[in-house]
Structure 1
Amino acid sequence: MAKLHQGSKHLKKNAHQARNRAILWTLPTIIYIVLYFTQQFQLHWGFHLLALLPLIVAARYSRQYKIYRAGIEGEVETAKFLKSLPASYEIYRSVPVSYQGQKSEIDLVIVGENGVFAVEVKNHSGKLSGSADAQEWQQVKRGPKGEQTRKMVRNPILQMKNQVWLLSQNMKEQKLSLWIEGIVYIANPNCELNIKQVHVPFFNQPEQLSRYILHYQAKNTPTQAQLTQVKKLLHRLSKSKN
């Protein structure tokens, strides 16, 4: 069984902040409703809408919270599944990386005797459409009554490539020259994908992901000394507060 290292709690912190802000922005409306029905305080009928305005802000933070929670769940479930890799592998969750002012967080970094893998995990639902080089993809979701909602989401392939570059720069600072295999994984197997011109490892089934990592053959197999250096770097990055 692979060893799992817990990393930054940045995403969980963001989720808690979004949830707390949603609750706080709901309170003014709740308080007004209570005061209104107890006849302790009433606005002119035209100002009732003002008491409802905080709910708009609360709804925005509530949506953010749901997005963060979905991301956390996808990352946790993927890490749990990858623990089934052999004991020679080590998994690092939520690794913050930065270089020359650019910051990001890699969902999963897997280190094994056959290489180093950086995995960008997305837990999208509905249907995703776009191309590998587009800045954004279109997400279409169907509501409980059959209605469709559309929005644009960030292209995880470009996110992954940027994260690989950032990690490689951190490695070069440690005199490490190793290939990092970037992978995009859609954790929701029911997500329908219509992505064109994909030339990177891109999976939406956990078995595909683990099989790819297990059977990957690097052009230059890393030495044990290099792998030890990489692990030390990942430990240090995981404890940093980027």
Structure 2
Amino acid sequence: MERAKMAKIYHHERQLERDLQHLKQRKVLYQLFCIAGLCVIIFIVWQYQLLVLILVAAAIIGLYMFSQCSLSKQLGKVTAGLAGEDRALQVLSELPASYSIFPDIQIVVEGRKSQLDTIIVGPTGVFVVEVKNHSGVIEGNVNDRELLQIKHDGHKKTIYNPVKQVATHTYRLHRYLCQHGVDYWIQGTVYFANDAVRIDVAPHSSTPIFSVKDNGSKRLLCYIVERHGQALSRSEQRMVEKLIKQLLKEQAS
């Protein structure tokens, strides 16, 4: 597919990118504080041989190791989330040029905030795609508040049901558009971008779930392009895009 025929992505600094940069800065800052503190303590101990300072040094090293372990886990989680979003954007960029893609949009409605992974605006309507990068097996019922994740090492944990999550996001996007005189149906979808995941969740009647492992990338694109819902004229698309661009300006300010 020629680049000129692909969807337009409105790139900007995403929340996960900001989180990643912040965590990296914190990690370096902790390292510098630890090194400086240990240097001072080593100098004093060398001069005065104080046992209490040796114990303080040991405590500092312990706290440093704990903080680095915690930061490494957070960095891994954020990095994985970004990788999933990047893979999803690569897939969605293959939509026709008549579609616009807005990644990572923050909306505040009725005092409550939502971070929408991806908004798509095109001739077949407005879509919100919730992107997940989980691995392992995802089990449960679409009506449950939480789903069960079974990782490859056998570890089990619960995750908030992305179907319910995207339902909240679509509601708030719809409310935001209505506040500006635009009343269109918002279609929510869930996309698991990790090829090491298997979805064992019954299909939802109104919120489809796609997984890259099950040829979900192609099916997601077909669903968006071929959906028989509320079609939008070009002027209606521009109106929605203008309102979302306003959200981008508010995020950047």
Q: TM-score, normalised by structure 2?
A: 0.82
Deviations 1:161-182 (A, max 9, x none): 1110110011101111111110
Q: Kindly tell me: are residues 7 and 32 of structure 1, through their superposed partners in 2, closer, same or farther at Cα, counting changes over 3 Å?
A: closer
Measured after TM superposition, the shift of residue 24 of structure 1 is: 3.3
Measured after TM superposition, the shift of residue 117 of structure 1 is: 0.8
Indicate the residue corresponding to 1:209 in structure 2.
220
1:92 aligns with 2:92: no
Measured after TM superposition, the shift of residue 124 of structure 1 is: 1.0
Q: Kindly tell me: are residues 46 and 226 of structure 1, through their superposed partners in 2, closer, same or farther at Cα, counting changes over 3 Å?
A: closer
1:111 aligns with 2:116: no
Q: Do 1:2 and 1:88's aligned partners in 2 also have CA atoms closer than 8 Å?
A: yes
Measured after TM superposition, the shift of residue 140 of structure 1 is: 2.6
Q: Do 1:115 and 1:222's aligned partners in 2 also have CA atoms closer than 8 Å?
A: yes
Q: Kindly tell me: are residues 222 and 139 of structure 1, through their superposed partners in 2, closer, same or farther at Cα, counting changes over 3 Å?
A: same
1:188 aligns with 2:194: yes
Is the partner of 1:106 in helix, strand or coil? strand
Indicate the residue corresponding to 2:134 in structure 1.
124
Measured after TM superposition, the shift of residue 30 of structure 1 is: 5.9
Measured after TM superposition, the shift of residue 209 of structure 1 is: 0.9
Measured after TM superposition, the shift of residue 127 of structure 1 is: 2.0
**Equivalent residue runs for 1:1-242 within 5 Å:** 1-26=6-31, 40=46, 44=54, 48=58, 51-142=61-152, 147-196=153-202, 198-199=204-205, 200-205=207-212, 206-218=217-229, 220-241=230-251
Alignment RMSD, CA only?
A: 2.7
Q: Pick 1 or 2: higher relative contact order, CA cutoff 8 A, min separation 6.
A: 1
Counting helix residues as a fraction of each chain, which structure ranks higher?
Answer: 2
In 2, Cα distance between the equivalents of 1:191 and 1:33? 44
Q: Kindly tell me: are residues 5 and 128 of structure 1, through their superposed partners in 2, closer, same or farther at Cα, counting changes over 3 Å?
A: same
In 1, Cα distance between the equivalents of 2:227 and 2:116? 20
In 2, Cα distance between the equivalents of 1:63 and 1:172? 40
Deviations 1:119-142 (A, max 9, x none): 010111122222223333232323
Measured after TM superposition, the shift of residue 236 of structure 1 is: 0.8
Q: Which runs of 4+ in 1 moved over 4 A?
A: 26-47
> How many residues align structurally?
237
Q: Do 1:28 and 1:51's aligned partners in 2 also have CA atoms closer than 8 Å?
A: no
Range with bigger deviation, 100-109 or 17-26: 17-26
In 1, Cα distance between the equivalents of 2:232 and 2:171? 18
Q: Do 2:10 and 2:101's aligned partners in 1 also have CA atoms closer than 8 Å?
A: yes
Measured after TM superposition, the shift of residue 32 of structure 1 is: 7.3
Is the partner of 1:222 in helix, strand or coil? coil
Measured after TM superposition, the shift of residue 197 of structure 1 is: 6.1
Q: Kindly tell me: are residues 60 and 198 of structure 1, through their superposed partners in 2, closer, same or farther at Cα, counting changes over 3 Å?
A: farther
In 2, Cα distance between the equivalents of 1:24 and 1:126? 35
In 2, Cα distance between the equivalents of 1:47 and 1:79? 47
Q: Do 2:14 and 2:103's aligned partners in 1 also have CA atoms closer than 8 Å?
A: no
Measured after TM superposition, the shift of residue 70 of structure 1 is: 1.3
In 2, Cα distance between the equivalents of 1:51 and 1:66? 22
